[in-house]
Amino acid sequence: MAPFYSVLRSASRRASPFAVRAIDSSAASYGETVAPNPIRNRLFLNSWRRCCSPPVQHFSTAVAAKKKKKQSSYDDHLIRIINSEIKCARESELHDCAVDIPDGLPFKVEDNVGERFIELKRGYQNEVIKIKVDLQNARCEAAYDDNDKDIEPQPSIPVVITVLKHNVSCLQFDAIVLPDRICIRGLKLKESESSETQLAYTGPDFSDLDESLQKCFQQYLEARGLTSSTAIFLLEYAISKETKEYLRWLGTLKKIIEI
């Protein structure tokens, strides 16, 4: 995958293209062919040898051994690069970091080892609130200040927020989690949580809604626990999980190469 962890570890990412180029260079050398010998003054003797002895079989064995040696060398080089990446990840500040769930967090965290999704869930009056995170969509992107000027890129996680009403109809928000807030980017009205069809009229883009209505929807989610403190926790938790999953993925990759 394109790990969220690796976005935050820019130094290692700068080393990765070099590693790829090194592998490609080695692979190119493995693909070189030897120019044929132009000497042809013993054709009859060569023909006789093909009939009376098995030089072709002997040659094939030598070629197979050579290919095996080259393949082994290539695999060893790949494993060295993977080991370097594992070492770098383990030495980072993010390795094996634990994020404690705050006492005041109103959501229950559902997270299974080896899966790319995290889900936060809670009940609120007659509603069920869910926040679903897909780690493979996490990234860094430029944010903007009040003057529409780019500021430093920062970690961000796209999430889907579902507000299920009476287990029947629901509101579904497409949002993005930033280090200090959760920003709504889209809104869908659905007949049920599992329904793939929307109601006939989908409404305008969220950014085209009246600013006061946009603000009210932000407050609507904040009242249900999607506050800045939830954003901070969710971002830290996602970074921690992605780091662990990335290391696990590297370890599995190494085992497969070594088989």
Beta strands in the chain (DSSP E): 108-111, 117-124, 127-134, 139-141, 154-165, 169-178, 181-190
Range of the domain at 170: 108-246
Q: What does the pLDDT average to over 2-13?
A: 50
- Kindly report the number of other CB atoms within 10 A of residue 241's CB atom: 21
102 domain-assigned: no
Which tokens is 177 given? 């989690």
CATH code of residue 126: 3.10.280.10
DSSP assignment letter at 198: B
Reported as a single tens digit per residue, the pLDDT across 70-117 is 667 888 899 999 999 998 888 876 666 778 888 889 999 999 998 889
Q: In 3-state terms, what secondary structure has residue 161?
A: strand
Residue that terminates a domain, selected from 53, 69, 96: 96
Tally of domains within the chain: 2
146 domain-assigned: yes
The answer on 78 and 23 residing in a single domain is yes
The answer on 55 and 128 residing in a single domain is no
The answer on 91 and 113 residing in a single domain is no
Q: Quick one: CA torsion of 230, 234, 237, 243, rounded to 10 degrees?
A: -160
The answer on 238 and 119 residing in a single domain is yes
CA distances for 129 relative to 21, 116, 160, 181, angstroms: 47, 20, 11, 17
Q: Structure pTM? A: 0.67
253 domain-assigned: no
Q: Which amino acid is at 193?
A: E
The answer on 164 and 73 residing in a single domain is no
Q: What does the pLDDT average to over 200-226?
A: 92
